[in-house]
Structure 1
Amino acid sequence: MGITTVSSREFNQHASDVKKAANNGPVFITDRGRPAHVLLSMEEYLKLTGGQESLADVLAQQEPSDFDFDIPSLNIRFRPADLS
């Protein structure tokens, strides 16, 4: 597993090459010479997260999935403001 470092400019100009590099290990993307982002393959990401999908992953899917989410009701009682 190799680690690759590219600048933001290189990432923008050669995105497909950078994505291929991510298959061999993490790719650090720098802004003004400082690490700002890390690009991982999906396989590596799932290893890091324990293979579980996050709520954001589920909501981003195009097809419906088996994900139940019940919104709890809130019992809020409003009182008129006392402006005296």
Structure 2
Amino acid sequence: MKPNIHPEYRKVVFHDTTVDEYFIVGSTLQTDRTIEWKDGKTYPYMTIEVSSESHPFYTGKQRVISKEGRVANFNRRFGGIKTKS
């Protein structure tokens, strides 16, 4: 590896503000904010809005939408209309 071209890889505390959960992940993220963690060490700190703790896919609260074909959708909308013959 070339020296002095790679960003610093370090542990960062991420805070999912949606569910108020904290977790440590290795990252090259650059931030000026820090937080003191449970082990007494100070880590870089970053807030996020969505993580695996709050995303519906991972929490099991995902909505399933059934998809209809175009013909079925047309028949549902206009199938009850009678025409004069």
Given the two structures, how large is their TM-score scaled by the length of structure 2? 0.26
- The answer to which structure has the higher helix fraction is 1
Rg comparison, structure with higher value: 2
Task: Identify the structure with bigger relative contact order (alpha carbons < 8 Å, sequence gap 6+).
Answer: 2
Scaled by the length of structure 1, what TM-score is found? 0.26
Quick check: which one's strand share is greater? 2
